[in-house]
């Protein structure tokens, strides 16, 4: 498997950089009264709901994987039809 390029590592670090302040606030609120703990859970859930930052290479890999999967499904259908037509003979 290929390792990340420097700019991809930077992109991943950038995502962590933007999530860190929210998580610090959530941790601080979690140490307070129960009402603040509820807010802390909400903030942590918000951060967890955000998708990881992707580079163009990651997006291209996903598109290519999708195309490959669809092509394999189509190939399987064609082979199945071919086998069915051979069975009828």
Whether residues 62 and 40 share a domain: the answer is: no
Per-residue pLDDT of 24-42, as tens digits, reads 999 998 888 888 888 899 9
* Number of domains making up the chain: 2
Residue in the block written with tokens 């302040």: 21
Residue 69: φ, ψ to 5°: -65, -45
Whether residues 15 and 33 share a domain: the answer is: yes
Question: Is residue 15 in a domain?
Answer: yes
Domain residues for 24?
A: 7-53
Whether residues 83 and 62 share a domain: the answer is: yes
Per-residue pLDDT of 52-62, as tens digits, reads 777 788 888 88
Mean pLDDT of the chain: 81
Yes or no: say if 55 and 7 are a contact pair by the CB < 8 Å rule: yes
């Amino acid at each position: 498997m290929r390792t990340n390029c420097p700019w991809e590592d930077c992109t991943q670090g950038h995502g962590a950089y933007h999530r860190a302040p929210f998580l610090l606030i959530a941790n601080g609120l979690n140490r307070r009264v129960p009402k603040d703990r509820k807010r802390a859970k909400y903030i942590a859930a918000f951060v967890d709901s955000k998708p990881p930052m992707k580079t163009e290479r990651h997006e291209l890999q996903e598109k290519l994987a999708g195309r490959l999967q669809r092509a394999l499904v189509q190939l399987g259908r064609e082979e199945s039809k071919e086998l069915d037509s051979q069975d009828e003979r």
